[in-house]
Amino acid sequence: MKRYTLIIGLVCLSVSMSLKAENGYDLWLRYAPISDANLEQNYQKILGTVVVPGYSETQQIIRKELKRAITSMLKTPVTVKTTHTIEATLLIAKLNELHDFSNIPALASVEALGNEGYQLIQPSNGPLLITANSDIGLLYGTFHLLRHMQQQLSLTELNLIQKPRLKLRLLNHWDNLDRTVERGYAGFSIWDWHKLPDYADPRYTDYARANASIGINGTVVTNVNANALVLSTQYLEKLTTLANILRPYGIKVYLTARFSAPVEQGGLKTADPLNTEVQQWWQYKVREIYTLIPDFGGFLVKANSEGQPGPQDYHRTHAQGANLLADAVAPYDGVVIWRAFVYSHEVPDDRHKQANNEFLPLDGKFRDNVLVQVKNGAIDFQPREPFHPLFGSMKQTPLMMEFQITQEYTGCATHLFYQAPLYKETLDSDTWCKGEGSTVASVIDGSLYKNKLTGIAGVSNIGNDFNWTGHPFAQANWYAYGRLAWDYQLSAEEIAKEWLKMTFTTEPNFVESMVPMMMDSREVLVNYMTPIGLHHIMARNHHYGPGPWVTGGRPDWTSVYYHRADKQGLGFDRTATGSNAVNQYFPEVARVFGQRELCPDKYLLWFHHVGWNETLASGRTLWDELCYRYYSGADAVRQMQNQWDAQADFVDTERFTHVAELLKIQAKEARWWRDACILHFQQFSGQPIPEGYDQPAHSLEYYMNIEHRFVPGIKNE
């Protein structure tokens, strides 16, 4: 038996050693050689003579990307030309340049493609066409073709039209000017401000390529906890270099605006939005920005939240603050994205309710170029949250979704956690704001309330680690975010499949076992961290590891505020007998969340204080269910390890080992979460851990005394 295992082991080792070493830098743009000989020949034929007319920067990029991809994927090099010839087999040209083809009946109209859309079409005779109204549409279409090829899918009978469902598809970097990244777990910031504007790290171009390949069209390069220095002329010049690199990839730059900048940068005595000098300062600053960067996207603002300055410092409203900046950028078509993530420990009400209380009365008071950016849930990027009640409630203000791609509360990039199921869960949630089917997605895409501005933001997980995101599987979250921002109707599974095929291999055995592992990873993590609607029970400040005992200081930054464990039971009563946060949802939703019998178990302790011996949907008591979830979550990580170990022959040794070692950490930490939480809650339930489960390895005191210093992502002392 041992010998047999050894032989298998050696075979696996030799296969994976024969794969080219990879460090993950290439992300999903690896352009691996096409392994299927027939398909290779077919691609070779279709890509025999590629024609991309035009000399714009974007058209040159298209040619370069195609050459790079084709040289790497196919055996025989192909020609990429700039002038149309009769031999062309693939033509990438704008609709208004397709004179020879205008009689193709299936050719899309200008309206159907919009600014960023594209069409791929194979006419019965003539070349395969990629067409669009704009250069960017052509680039997106090219990346579509390359995505298709990387998955080794057939190109015959291709006929599709693609258009993004949301206008602004942004990354939010929480990157500081000193290159630390708030809640960043993949090294330092990729923006090397010190060497800008003169030295442009080649990484910026690869960043642009990766983002364009998934349709991201904007990047807020600085932290929402903003530094006004970025608005200085010196830093704006640095930003100009970045903007120039990103522009031909269809990516606009945005900045976070510190509300007190007129004082800090302008030397004024006030930043009051109604003060004329303040207004003039912003106008002057904005003019300076647009002179350097004519397509500057606009400002993202965190105000009067967690110590940031804001209009309320001058007894003005969030709308007055937002409008100050909106008026300044309006002449240049800029936008202001104002965050709804506001709450204060000085307000006695449930934190869950505060953003609604603050923003609903302001509906209709924002300028047309303002979007309000709302986190997916009402607390803060927890492993699971019900959707934020603001979605659907604000009828006259475009709401932008904010997801967190970086894993602040979900393992700080040591845990394999595929987030597309989380994003989809929120987007598909029914707000009932205009009757059944009023999903969160239909609120943010503007279809329900006919908003002209629409958008989505993802808090970036990118750093200067060689593989960009720390965990090799965290790349999937960047990818999935972009794909869903483009088309939220894609399924999390489809996206996982695409990503796996491009990032690792198209081998069906690999893909078929990895898709379910990725898909399950969300529920697995919820189970070992915050099952049954528990939330915000992590360690203080750095948020790494469990901390259900955290108490003292600002109540809304403790764990006991959220789980409310006592001798009777567990959970936050947010029904009419408690904080009544349920009332902020539309009646149909409030009815379901608010009634103990109707509330799904996944949100139970979010909305209800449940007795330890009450029976849940599974038939188990709350205490038994809690144990069951924590134990099954931790066990599932061990299974993930086995699933991964079985993939050794499909993955190069470097990335294989990297993932295997991180899974080891995850397995250890899942047990840590399980044991710490179970022991903590056991003090209240007074019940034994059901038979059949291992006992925790240590005492509660042991877990409470674990101290982690220098966790990345925060200001460490």
Place of tokens 């997605």: 441
* 224 versus 474: smaller Cβ distance to ligand GCW: 224
Q: Does 607 bind ligand GCW (CB under 6 A)?
A: no
Shortest spacing between CB 559 and ligand GCW, in angstroms: 14
The two beta strands, 159-162 and 118-121, are: antiparallel
Q: Would you say 224 or 678 has its CB closer to ligand GCW? A: 224
Query: Is 520 among the residues known to form the active site?
Result: no
Least distance between ligand GCW and beta carbon 119 (Å): 39
Q: For residue 568, count CB atoms less than 10 angstroms from its CB and return exposed for 0-12, middle for 13-18, buried for 19 or more.
A: middle
CB nearer to ligand GCW: pick between 696 and 713: 713
Determine whether 597 is an active site residue: no
Nearer to ligand GCW, 139 or 444 (CB): 444
Smallest gap, in angstroms, from Cβ of residue 384 to ligand GCW?
15
Question: How many angstroms separate the CA atoms of 656 and 504, rounded?
Answer: 10
> Of the listed 116, 175, 358, 380, which one is catalytic?
380
Instruction: Choose, by CB under 6 A, the member of 381, 478, 486, 549 that binds ligand GCW.
Output: 381
Closest distance between ligand GCW and the C-beta of residue 182, in Å? 5
Any long-range contacts for 77-84 (C-beta under 8 Å, 24+ apart)? 78/44, 78/47, 78/48, 78/49, 78/50, 79/48, 79/49, 79/50, 80/50, 80/51, 80/52, 81/49, 81/50, 81/51, 81/52, 82/51, 82/52, 82/53, 82/54, 82/55, 83/51, 83/53, 84/51, 84/53
Selected catalytic residue, list 182, 350, 408, 624: 408
Positions 149 through 208 that interact with ligand GCW (CB under 6 A): 174, 182-183
Alpha-carbon dihedral sign for residues 447, 246, 202, 463: negative
- Least separation in angstroms between CB 375 and ligand GCW: 7
Q: What is the 3-state secondary structure (H, E, C) of 116-179?
A: CCEEEECCCCCCEEEEECCHHHHHHHHHHHHHHHHCCCCCCCCEEEECCCCCEEEEECCECCCC
Q: Provide, rounded to whole angstroms, the least separation between the CB of residue 543 and ligand GCW.
A: 7
Is 408 catalytic? The answer is: yes
Q: What span, in angstroms and rounded, lies between the C-alpha atoms of 322 and 430?
A: 29
Q: Nearer Cβ to ligand GCW, position 385 or 652?
A: 385
Per-residue three-class SS string for 472-502? HHHHHHHHHHHHHHHCCCCCHHHHHHHHHHH
The residue from 65, 175, 380, 625 that contacts ligand GCW (CB under 6 A) is 380
Q: What is the DSSP letter of 445?
A: T
Instruction: Report residue 498: phi and psi, to 5°.
Output: -55, -50
**Nearest to ligand GCW of 286, 422 (CB atom):** 422
Restricting to residues 431-490, which ones interact with ligand GCW according to CB under 6 A?
none
Residue 158 token pair: 């291709």
Closer CB to ligand GCW, residue 64 or residue 554?
Answer: 554
Interface size with ligand GCW, residues (CB under 6 A): 11
Structural tokens at position 680: 């903590």
Q: Which of 87, 306, 333, 694 is catalytic?
A: 306
Among residues 341, 343, 486, 656, which is the contact residue for ligand GCW, using CB under 6 A?
341
**Residue number with the shortest CB distance to ligand GCW?**
380
Footprint (CB under 6 A) of ligand GCW, residues 287-306: 302, 306
* Beta bridge partner(s), residue 94: 132
Q: Tokens standing for 620?
A: 């188990």
Interface positions, 393-412, toward ligand GCW (CB under 6 A): 408
Closest distance of CB 643 from ligand GCW, Å: 31
Which is nearer to ligand GCW, 378 or 604 (by Cβ)? 378
Beta strands in 247-296 (DSSP E): 252-256
The distance of closest approach from Cβ of residue 461 to ligand GCW in the complex, given in angstroms and rounded to an integer, is 13
Cα distances from 374 to residues 303, 393, 629, in angstroms, run 13, 12, 30
Do 119 and 89 meet the contact criterion of CB atoms below 8 Å apart?
Answer: no
Which of positions 214-233 make contact with ligand GCW (CB under 6 A)? 224-225
Q: Which residues are catalytic?
A: 306, 380, 408
Residues forming contacts to ligand GCW in the complex (CB under 6 A) are 174, 182-183, 224-225, 302, 306, 341, 380-381, 408
